[in-house]
Amino acid sequence: MGRIAVPQAGDLPRSADVVIVGGGVTGCATAFYAAEAGFDTVVLERRDGLGTLTTAASEECFRAQFDEPENIKMMLESIAVFEDFAAVIRIPGYDIDVHQRGYLFLTAEEDGPELLKKRVQRQCTLGLSDVELLDGDEVRQRFPFVGPTVSAAAFRARDGWLSAHELTYGFAKGSSALFALRTAAQGIRLDAHGVAAVVTERGEVSTRCVVVAAGPFSSLVSSWAGVQLPLTRLRRQKVVLSNVSRVPPDAPMTIDQDTGVYWRPEVGGATLGWALPEEPSEPMERVPTDWTFPAVVLDGAARLVPFWSQAAETLTRDNVFLTAGQYTCTPDHKPIIGPWRSLPGLFFNVGYSGHGIMASPGGARLLVDLIIDPNADAENPFRSGRFAEAGASVRAEGMVI
């Protein structure tokens, strides 16, 4: 079979060093680093193409502006990969359409300037020294679209967005792994030594190492090995607007720090979103949309950026596209990366809680290091065992995108 293809009868390898369940950005990045490390790697993806579930629903943004050292470290590593992607995958000229136009966090709350100041100072002590703290006048001078109520902002110019589709396929094309499309995993076979094989609709693949990277379906796949992960799924919607001339094409990703609503330019228009409260849901192949959402988001975006009120008045139904996917969330909103210590051969790369595009290189590289040396998991901040160790005291960093 071709390396990224639907296997014909008898084509699926009967064994592999590493079998990855899921061909989204996480599975493909993992396959890249696993193959780089010399593992004979097979990715099982039940859909027609790679990166067509949550990965395709995303806003495709990346930022290093986090609060916790392990997040900052992982994102800085990942952004360095995005900046040099063609060289990393060794395909000259390969383009993932990186736009480093920055991430701009705005506040109009009374305590907002102080909160942003503390955050930027903390980031500086954690090695993220290129975040600018701006007062209201400075931010309006730099970004004239910002409204009069904004009193402070944090801005990092090297944050931005990219093409999640090209990123996913770049990892696949740049690796020697095999990507079996329309090939659903259906079970994990265990023996006295741990993981023994992955059962698929096209037969078994023997392996001593399986990586669960099945996005919203990761709880289900993990349950085949008798493991219950603390994952929940939350619907998140995305509004794409075409023909909105008021959106400055060079604007950064702009976030209302006080409410969480965000937007950024997209060719000829913009894309917007807002992590509004949702009930946890079951994993879904098709996530339903709610047509009240675009008006709610536009109203939210207009709070600090006035042009959104005027832009909303000129929109017609034909300009508005609405999609949805599911965040796969952990209690502390950080991913679960690494081995399941009590079952040799079972590994997770799951639960990115809304940050799976931006973290994919750093998370996948870490996972492969842990396949090579599972004992290093003791020092791994994303280890699966942290929830049991911390009891109920895990703290979640903000859920903005």
214 vs 247, beta carbon nearer ligand FAD: 214
Determine which residue in the list 45, 166, 266, 332 makes contact with ligand FAD, applying CB under 6 A: 45
Determine which residue in the list 26, 65, 123, 254 makes contact with ligand FAD, applying CB under 6 A: 26
Determine which residue in the list 99, 202, 238, 365 makes contact with ligand FAD, applying CB under 6 A: 238
Stretch that binds ligand FAD, among 12-20, 46-54, 298-306, 381-389 (CB under 6 A): 46-54
39 vs 66, beta carbon nearer ligand FAD: 66
60 vs 377, beta carbon nearer ligand FAD: 60
Calculate ∠ Cα 372-40-225, nearest 5°.
Answer: 65
338 contacts ligand FAD (rule: CB under 6 A): no
Q: Which residues fall within 8 angstroms of residue 392, CB to CB, at 6 or more apart?
A: none
198 vs 304, beta carbon nearer ligand FAD: 198
Total chain residues near ligand FAD (CB under 6 A):
42
155 vs 327, beta carbon nearer ligand FAD: 327
358 contacts ligand FAD (rule: CB under 6 A): yes
Radius of gyration of the chain (CA): 21
184 contacts ligand FAD (rule: CB under 6 A): yes
Residues 197-226 that bind ligand FAD (CB under 6 A): 213-217, 221
Smallest distance from ligand FAD to CB 106, Å: 18
Smallest distance from ligand FAD to CB 43, Å: 9
Q: Give the 3-state secondary structure of the chain.
A: CCCEECCCCCCCCCECCEEEECCCHHHHHHHHHHHHCCCCEEEECCCCCCCCCHHHHCCCEECCCCCCHHHHHHHHHHHHHHHCHHHHHCCCCCCCCCECCCEEEEECCCCHHHHHHHHHHHHHHCCCCCCEEEEHHHHHHHCCCCCCCCCEEEEECCCEECCHHHHHHHHHHCCCCEEECCCCEEEEEEECCEEEEEEECCEEEECCCEEECCHHHHHHHHHCCCCCCCCEEEEEEEEEECCCCCCCCCCCEEEECCCCCEEEEECCEEEEECCCCCCCECCCCCCCCCCCHHHHHHHHHHCCCCHHHHHHHHCCHHHEEEEEEEEEECCCCCCEEEECCCCCCEEEEECCCCCCCCCHHHHHHHHHHHHHCHHHHHHCCCCCCHHHHHCCCCCCCCCCC
47 contacts ligand FAD (rule: CB under 6 A): yes
Stretch that binds ligand FAD, among 24-32, 123-131, 313-321, 369-377 (CB under 6 A): 24-32
Smallest distance from ligand FAD to CB 113, Å: 26
61 contacts ligand FAD (rule: CB under 6 A): yes
* Contact pattern from residue 290 through residue 329 relative to ligand FAD, giving x for each residue in contact according to CB under 6 A and a dash for the rest: -----------------------------------xxx--
170 contacts ligand FAD (rule: CB under 6 A): no
155 contacts ligand FAD (rule: CB under 6 A): no
Residues that bind ligand FAD (CB under 6 A): 21-27, 44-47, 51-55, 57-61, 184-185, 213-217, 221, 236, 238, 273, 325-327, 352, 354-358, 401
